[in-house]
Amino acid sequence: MSKYLGQHFLKNKAKLRKIVEALELEDADFVFEIGSGHGELTNEIVSKFKSLNLPTGGDKFKIIAIEKDKELANELKEKFSEDKNIEIIEGDALEEIKNQISKIKNANQKSKIIKNLKIVGNIPYYITGYLFRILGDLEQKPELIVLLIQKEVAERVCAKPPEMNLLAASVQIWAESKIIGYVSRDDFSPPPKVDSAIIRLLPTRIYTDKNTDLCGYYKFIKIFFKQPRKTIVNNVLKFKSLKVLSKEEIVEKLKEIGVEPNARPQDLSVGQIQKMVKFFIVMCKN
């Protein structure tokens, strides 16, 4: 096992089962597992599928488990060699996930075998932020995502007003997020320095409709949350493209879209932020 990958393997069976229960597995589900390690979570997923008493014959479920560590990947291939419903891939999930999900979705358009595509994984802390951005940028998103991540990061992702932050705004624009359980550092081998949380993400189109400029949205919130203690109107004044408007005019425009000018960025919901983005992107183009 390569130490540089920062892997901490979950050994608590009850917590593993809790992650699997959150996947709400059904007949014909397709599960993409990130970082399978020794196969602890993979085993639980297989056991859950088998407990559903699926009809015999045909592929009634499918698991693709990706593992970056070559030694662990080889062990997994040997361990699950006789199960035709499990495919082990040696590779970097951050590089493979977009390609693999595209293949799965495109194949399903022809065969209609898959009911739902779901992503699950015990995620190394150092890749969490990048993984969220990759998932957010997917054109074909899975129906459900369940991840085990650092507790502090999970709480930031699921934050609501008045505790909104850059990470929450960047994830909640494309998914409903919820913490469904906590995991102690003592439940891992080797134990990490911090506790973890199980987070459930439900991709949604509430905000990300065809008219949503996600690139513009991400650029906006990166600037908007840079100084979260400043008032909204003073944060907006930092946008060079709005220099044509006076502070008084910006105040009026904010009120028109239901945003209190003297509130702070952390006081706003994703819906309010999205209204601001749509308004200011239009202003920037004029």
Q: Read off the pLDDT of residues 135-182 as tens digits, 9 standing for 90 and up.
A: 998 888 899 999 999 999 999 999 999 999 999 999 999 999 999 999
**CA atoms of 194 and 210, how far apart (whole Å):** 39
Residue 108 — very low, low, confident or very high, per pLDDT cuts 50/70/90? low
- Which of residues 163 and 228 earns the better pLDDT score? 163
pTM of the complete model: 0.89
Among the listed ranges 108-112, 189-193, 271-275, which one has the minimum average pLDDT value?
Answer: 108-112
pLDDT of the residue at 268: 95
Closest Cα to residue 197, out of 181, 211, 186? Answer: 181
Closest Cα to residue 161, out of 259, 281, 277, 280? Answer: 259
Is the pLDDT at 2 greater than 60? The verdict is no
Residue 277 — very low, low, confident or very high, per pLDDT cuts 50/70/90? confident
Closest Cα to residue 50, out of 58, 65, 38, 60? Answer: 60
Longest dimension (CA), the chain: 70
Is the pLDDT at 3 greater than 50? The verdict is no
Alpha helix (H) ranges present in the chain?
A: 13-22, 40-51, 70-79, 93-111, 128-137, 151-157, 166-172, 214-224, 232-236, 247-256, 270-285
**What would you report as the CA-atom Rg of the chain, rounded to the nearest whole angstrom?**
21
Q: What is the mean pLDDT of the chain?
A: 87
DSSP 8-class letter at 126:
G
- Which of residues 211 and 41 earns the better pLDDT score? 41
| Angle, helices 13-22/40-51, rounded to nearest 10 degrees | 60
